[in-house]
Structure 1
Amino acid sequence: MGVISLRVPEEELARYKDYARIQNQSLSAVIRTTMMERIEEEYDLKVIENYETQKAAGEVELYSHDDVWAELGV
């Protein structure tokens, strides 16, 4: 497993530790979870933005529920 060293002011470190204690998790676990959540949120927003751009440009083809079921032969 890799190691990341992070320098933060003592006041911030105290907040991080307090939050980890409240969450009943290690500081490392809280930082990992928070970073992954942030990355996933930004990724999701980028995907939505790309979809909206393509939709506005008329590059997205939409199908009704009935059309999909018919195409699948259901």
Structure 2
Amino acid sequence: MAISLRLSPDEENLIREYASMMNLTVSELVRSSVLEQIEDKLDLELAEEAYEDYLENSVTYSFDQVKKDLGL
């Protein structure tokens, strides 16, 4: 899929220079940056859900208790 962006000349120069510094094409840089942003957002949402679940059901076990329960 091809995507076009409208960038100011300064933004374009910044992206091109950074891609060059990272030894990437502009396409590779934009692709990896967008995917990383999406993955980070999804990870944050999962972490927030897990934390909310922990707050609602705050049962915790010590390491020693887990070892004992598992017979280790």
Equivalent residue number for residue 3 of structure 1: 2
Equivalent residue number for residue 56 of structure 1: 55
Number of paired residues? 68
Which digits, 9 at most, give the CA deviation of each residue in 1:1-45, with x for residues without a partner? x10011111110000000010011100000001111111111111
Uncovered stretches (5+) of structure 2, i.e. residues with no partner: none
Secondary structure, aligned partner of 1:36: helix
Equivalent residue number for residue 26 of structure 2: 27
Secondary structure, aligned partner of 1:5: coil
Equivalent residue number for residue 46 of structure 2: 47
The reply to whether residue 18 of structure 1 matches residue 21 of structure 2 is: no
Secondary structure, aligned partner of 2:6: coil
Give me the CA root mean square deviation. 1.8
Offset at residue 49 of structure 1 (A): 0.2
**Deviation >3 Å, runs of 4+:** 60-65
User: Which whole-Å CA distance do the structure 1 matches of 2:3 and 2:13 have between them?
Assistant: 18
Provide the identity percentage.
26
Offset at residue 61 of structure 1 (A): 5.7
Secondary structure, aligned partner of 1:44: helix
